[in-house]
Amino acid sequence: MLKAVVTDVDGTITDQRRRISTCAIECIRTLVDAGVRVVLASGNTPCFMNTLTKMIGTDGTFIGENGGVYRIGFTGDLQVRGDQQVCWDAYHLLKSHFDQQGIALELFGAKERFADLALARNVPVDEVRILLSNSPVQVLDTGFALHLQSLFISKATALEELALTLALPADQILAVGDSENDIPMLQWAGTGIAVANARPAVQTAATHVTAARYGEGFVEAVRHALPSLFERA
Ligand SMILES: O=C(O)COP(=O)(O)O
Ligand SMILES: [Mg+2]
């Protein structure tokens, strides 16, 4: 049986308006009660993830900032990977460019971030990518925000470290996601499932795509990968 489920948050256990899916919460609690470790893996800040894990009811393990940070359990130290300074340098380059066009960049939760930066999607992502093509950052479009992240950091690099510490083999992990920031972890995990609302590139990277969207898709993914758990329920 799979030992861990790693799930994206926005667009996977929430809808497009970020309203959390109650059926996804119920499903996560069923997993936790059955002894399956559930790791929430998101672009969100550690502060947000700490609260979310507490209120959903997992053991507090999370990946945040698209792999820039992770924590094991509620009492684990926050592990920070990547270099936020290169993200700030990239941000200032973008800011001076878009200021000239009269477009104000909007940062999300910058004071609560340690590794990446998140911006409102009020600027064209293709233009941002061209402007930063010589910068040591990657641009991730989650559908909810644009993230500036150090190269070679992803939800998968955090998951790999976390799995090593917890002695979880990749083939015993199910990963579920919806956006390009999830592709590396969907490919790294033994089973990578995309919800139906996932972008085409994400669906291509997955081993299976659900018929249902958002939270219902997450539940379908878990039932697909762990049928025995629900037969017993
Ligand atoms: O922070 C975002 O932009 C979206 O986060 P997600 O990785 O949970 O979808
Ligand atoms: Mg998402």
CATH code of residue 132: 3.90.1070.10
**71 and 177 in a common domain:** yes
State the total domains in the chain. 2
- Please report the sign of the dihedral spanned by the C-alpha atoms of residue 32, residue 4, residue 47, residue 17: negative
Order of strands across the sheet that contains 146-150: 117-119, 146-150, 137-141
Cβ count near 32 (within 10 Å): 16
Which residue among 101, 118, 150 closes a domain? 150
Ligand 1 probe mutation, 40, 119, 142, most atoms within 8 A of CB: 142
Mean per-residue pLDDT, 95-105:
97
Same domain, 157 and 72: yes
Last residue of a domain, one of 150, 167, 202: 150
Q: Which residue has the higher pLDDT, 228 or 69?
A: 69
- What pLDDT does 1 receive? 79
Q: Looking at the predicted structure, is the pLDDT value of residue 229 above 90?
A: no
Q: What percent of the chain has pLDDT over 70?
A: 99
Res 230: pLDDT: 82
Residue 221 near residue 230 (C-beta atoms within 8 A)? no
Q: Model confidence over 29-44: pLDDT tens digits?
A: 999 999 999 999 999 9
Residue 12 Cα to ligand 1 midpoint, Å, equals 9
Distance 231 CA to ligand 1 centre (A): 32
Tell me: do 32 and 140 sit in the same domain. no
Same domain, 25 and 60: yes
141 and 35 in a common domain: no
CB of 8 within 6 A of ligand 1: the answer is yes
Residue 233 has pLDDT above 80, yes or no: no
pLDDT in tens, 107-150: 999 999 999 999 999 999 999 999 999 999 999 999 999 999 99
**Active site annotation includes 8:** yes
pLDDT in tens, 39-59: 999 999 999 999 999 999 999
Domain coverage including residue 125 = 84-150
Q: Are residues 69 and 13 in the same domain?
A: yes
Same domain, yes or no, for 72 and 59? yes
pLDDT tens figures, 160-194: 999 999 999 999 999 999 999 999 999 999 999 99
- Do 178 and 191 lie in a common domain? yes
Burial class (CB in 10 A: 0-12, 13-18, 19+), 233: exposed
**Residue 232 pLDDT class (50, 70, 90 cuts):** low
CB-based burial of residue 15 (10 Å sphere; 0-12 exposed, 13-18 middle, 19+ buried)?
A: middle
> Looking at the DSSP assignment, which residues form a beta bridge with residue 177?
194
CATH number for the domain spanning 71: value is 3.40.50.1000
Binding residues for substrate: 155
SS3 readout for the chain: CCCEEEECCCCCCECCCCCECHHHHHHHHHHHHCCCEEEEECCCCHHHHHHHHHHHCCCCCEEEHHHCEEECCCCCCCEECCCHHHHHHHHHHHHHHHHHCCCCCCECCHHHCCCCEEECCCCCHHHHHHHCCCCCEEEEECCCCEEEEECCCCHHHHHHHHHHHHCCCHHHEEEEECCHHHHHHHHHCCEEEECCCCCHHHHHHCCEECCCCHHHHHHHHHHHHCHHHHHHC
Query: Which of 120, 150, 180 is the last residue in one of the domains?
Result: 150
Decide: 192 in ligand 1 pocket, CB within 6 A: no
Q: Is the pLDDT of residue 4 over 70?
A: yes
Query: Percent of the chain, pLDDT > 90?
Result: 97
